[in-house]
Amino acid sequence: MAAPTEMKSKTEPALSLGPYPTKIGAEELLELIDLWEFTPETRARLQSLIEEDPGLRGPHLFRYYNPRPSKVEAAERAFAELIGVNHCLAVNSCTSALVCAYRALGIGAGDEVIVPAYTFFATAAAAVASNAIPVIVEIDETLCLDPAAVEKAITRRTKAIVPVHMRGAPAQMDAILDVAGRKGLPVIEDVAQAGGGAFGGRRLGSLGKIGCFSFDYYKVHASGEGGFVATDDDWLYTRAQSWHDTAACWRPNRFARERQPGELFCGENYRMSELQGAVALAQIRKTDAMLAGYRRAHRQIKDRIDPAPGMTFRRVPDESGDTSIALVFFLKDAESTRKAMFAMQEMGVPAGGIYDHKVRDWHIFTYWEHILDRKHVAPDGLPWSAVPADELPRYSREMCPRTLDLLGRAIMIDIHWQYTADDCEQIAERINRGLRAGS
Ligand SMILES: Cc1ncc(COP(=O)(O)O)c(C=O)c1O
């Protein structure tokens, strides 16, 4: 039972108030329990246990000013240890993490960031929301940024390179870091789809200046919604932390005057709640078990596949760092890809094509009309109005033909980390039949 804050009087005895019911109590917990879909018997047992407990104190769901140890803070510490960085900041999504990263680096109007033509739209949209201009660049057989195309796309306005580790596997971080190093540019890793993956023995998200992670429901780690910003850099952490909490807070003394220019500015609110923090913490602890399951199932299915003529597997720059959440291969042409994919889907295989020009998909640049058509949210016309029109990137639906060719010939099999050996055997056998139907 919680009592409200009392003002102490010098002359009067203390007020005798309450006790009151907790702000968040058994009713809210039972709503949460409903999400887990227990059997009616278990739910009834839990309900009576909870309601009869005289000690119910109720949670404190705000991460700050929390009289109890914060789950969000524990998740930040556990994730920083997992990724191998000095700081992890929990936020409410990877989109928010990306905005924090762009803003922490001081990216804004008139700046360009290099993003791949194949990524979830958020990578580019977060740049536009930060008033920056995305420069959209070809991918290669890794399904991630082509380092040579990155180098060609750099201009005097470029302020960051954003490799996205698509579908669980690492981008070519050695070559990308090499280009970035020679040009003096920071790398922001978008690790939304590859949490826990690695390159060259280092976890993804720790190789660039900042790593951005998603914990939305469909990612390796899931807390419904959620994300993390990872960095070794104290200053970037301070600025990201400020942006994520209206920039009125923390750094580390929240009421202190600015210690150096760039410390005070107006931010937004991307805080993670204790509900998400608790789920995220449990998920982080399961990382090794999940990755071991994905990798075992991926290997077993891949080893059993009889490649069709002209078929190649996606190139993975560091196989040991692949989270293995997806198995991707390219067929010889778009027509056989469609045929094989439909045959696999008919047989219940969790297979999908990546690009079909008739199916809208927010992962492919041709559908990003917000960017291609230079949409803006306010009459100021930002971000496009910050640069002379003839210096803006020349966007078109034809500008990345290699990306479209590769994606049009790709089939992706979703892997589940709990597949048994028998599940893998059945899936592989049907993939082989689907491949035969396509050739
Ligand atoms: C590559 C990539 N970046 C960013 C995001 C955005 O993540 P969130 O949903 O957590 O904002 C996603 C989510 O699908 C993604 O796949």
CATH number of the domain to which 341 belongs = 3.90.1150.10
Listed residue (310, 347, 351, 303) closest to 331, CA to CA: 310
Looking at 260, 286, 312, which one is the last position of a domain?
286
Q: Which residue shows structure tokens 């640069």?
A: 387
243 and 109 co-located in one domain: yes
215 CB-side CA count, 13 A = 31
Q: Is 180 exposed, middle or buried (0-12, 13-18, 19+ CB in 10 A)?
A: buried
Listed residue (88, 262, 275) closest to 191, CA to CA: 88
Residue to probe by mutation, ligand 1, list 91, 93, 95, 136, most atoms within 8 Å of CB: 95
Per-residue model confidence (pLDDT) at position 86: 98
46 vs 162, 197, 290, 369, CA distance in Å? Answer: 47, 38, 28, 50
CB-ligand 1 contact for 94 (6 Å cutoff): yes
CB-ligand 1 contact for 164 (6 Å cutoff): yes
CB-ligand 1 contact for 190 (6 Å cutoff): yes
CA of residue 95 to ligand 1 center, whole Å: 6
Per-residue model confidence (pLDDT) at position 4: 47
146 and 270 co-located in one domain: yes
Within a domain: 174: yes
Listed residue (231, 167, 170) closest to 200, CA to CA: 170
CA of residue 96 to ligand 1 center, whole Å: 10
Number of domains in the chain: 3
Within a domain: 379: no
Residue to probe by mutation, ligand 1, list 98, 193, 213, 221, most atoms within 8 Å of CB: 193
Q: Please state, in angstroms and rounded to a whole number, the distance separating the CA atoms of residues 186 and 208.
A: 7
Q: Please state, in angstroms and rounded to a whole number, the distance separating the CA atoms of residues 236 and 238.
A: 5
Question: What's the CATH number where 214 sits?
Answer: 3.40.640.10
Per-residue model confidence (pLDDT) at position 389: 96
CB-ligand 1 contact for 193 (6 Å cutoff): yes
CA of residue 65 to ligand 1 center, whole Å: 29
CA of residue 348 to ligand 1 center, whole Å: 27
Residue to probe by mutation, ligand 1, list 92, 115, 120, most atoms within 8 Å of CB: 120
CA of residue 122 to ligand 1 center, whole Å: 6
Beta-carbon count within 10 A of 262 CB: 13
CA of residue 93 to ligand 1 center, whole Å: 8
Per-residue model confidence (pLDDT) at position 108: 98
Q: Atom of ligand 1 at shortest distance to CA of 166? A: 1
Within a domain: 412: yes
CA of residue 212 to ligand 1 center, whole Å: 9
180 and 278 co-located in one domain: yes
Please say whether the beta carbons of 119 and 190 come within 8 A.
yes
Within a domain: 64: no
171 and 305 co-located in one domain: no
297 and 254 co-located in one domain: no
CB-ligand 1 contact for 97 (6 Å cutoff): no
CB-ligand 1 contact for 107 (6 Å cutoff): no
214 CB-side CA count, 13 A = 24
Listed residue (364, 424, 83) closest to 221, CA to CA: 83
43 and 176 co-located in one domain: no
Catalytic residue list: 219
Within a domain: 228: yes
1 and 77 co-located in one domain: no
Strands 188-190 and 198-199: unpaired
Domain hosting 47: range is 1-59
279 and 420 co-located in one domain: no
Q: Is the peptide bond before 261 cis (omega within 30 degrees of 0)?
A: no
Q: Atom of ligand 1 at shortest distance to CA of 119? A: 1
Looking at 59, 86, 108, which one is the last position of a domain?
59
162 vs 3, 33, 107, 383, 421, CA distance in Å? Answer: 49, 39, 13, 18, 37
Residues 6+ apart with CB under 8 A from 399: 117, 136, 365
Positive or negative: CA dihedral 92, 97, 98, 100:
positive
The two most distant CA atoms of the chain are separated, in Å, by: 92
CB-ligand 1 contact for 274 (6 Å cutoff): no
281 and 300 co-located in one domain: no
CA of residue 425 to ligand 1 center, whole Å: 31
Looking at 252, 286, 320, which one is the last position of a domain?
286
Please say whether the beta carbons of 269 and 207 come within 8 A.
no
Within a domain: 367: no
291 and 224 co-located in one domain: no
**What string of H, E and C letters represents the secondary structure of the chain?**
CECCCCCCCCCCCCCCCCCECCCCCHHHHHHHHHHCCCCHHHHHHHHHHHHHCCCCCCCCCCCCCCCCCCHHHHHHHHHHHHHCCCEEEEECCHHHHHHHHHHHCCCCCCCEEEEECECCCHHHHHHHHCCCEEEEECECCCCCECHHHHHHHCCCCEEEECCECHHHCCCCHHHHHHHHHHHCCCEEEECCCCCCCEECCEECCCCCCEEEEECCCCCCCCCCCCEEEEECCHHHHHHHHHHCECCCCCCCCCCCCCCCCCCCCCCCECCCCHHHHHHHHHHHHCHHHHHHHHHHHHHHHHHHCCCCCCCEECCCCCHHHCCCCEEEEECCCHHHHHHHHHHHHHCCCCEEECCCCCCCCCCEHHHCHHHHCCCCCCCCCCCHHHCCHHHCCCCCCCCCHHHHHHHHCEEEEECCCCCCHHHHHHHHHHHHHHHHHHC
Within a domain: 370: no
Q: What is the value of pTM for the model shown?
A: 0.95
CB-ligand 1 contact for 95 (6 Å cutoff): yes
CB-ligand 1 contact for 361 (6 Å cutoff): no
Q: Atom of ligand 1 at shortest distance to CA of 165? A: 1
Within a domain: 377: no
276 and 326 co-located in one domain: no
Q: What is the pLDDT along the chain (439 residues), one digit of tens a residue?
A: 344 455 677 888 888 888 788 899 999 999 999 999 999 999 999 999 998 988 888 899 999 999 999 999 999 999 999 999 999 999 999 999 999 999 999 999 999 999 999 999 999 999 999 999 999 999 999 999 999 999 999 999 999 999 999 999 999 999 999 999 999 999 999 999 999 999 999 999 999 999 999 999 999 999 999 999 999 999 999 999 999 998 777 777 888 888 889 989 999 999 999 999 999 999 999 999 999 999 999 999 999 999 999 999 999 999 999 999 999 999 999 999 999 999 999 999 999 988 887 889 999 999 999 999 999 999 999 999 999 999 999 999 999 999 999 999 999 999 999 999 999 999 999 999 999 998 8
Residue to probe by mutation, ligand 1, list 214, 216, 279, most atoms within 8 Å of CB: 214
175 and 248 co-located in one domain: yes
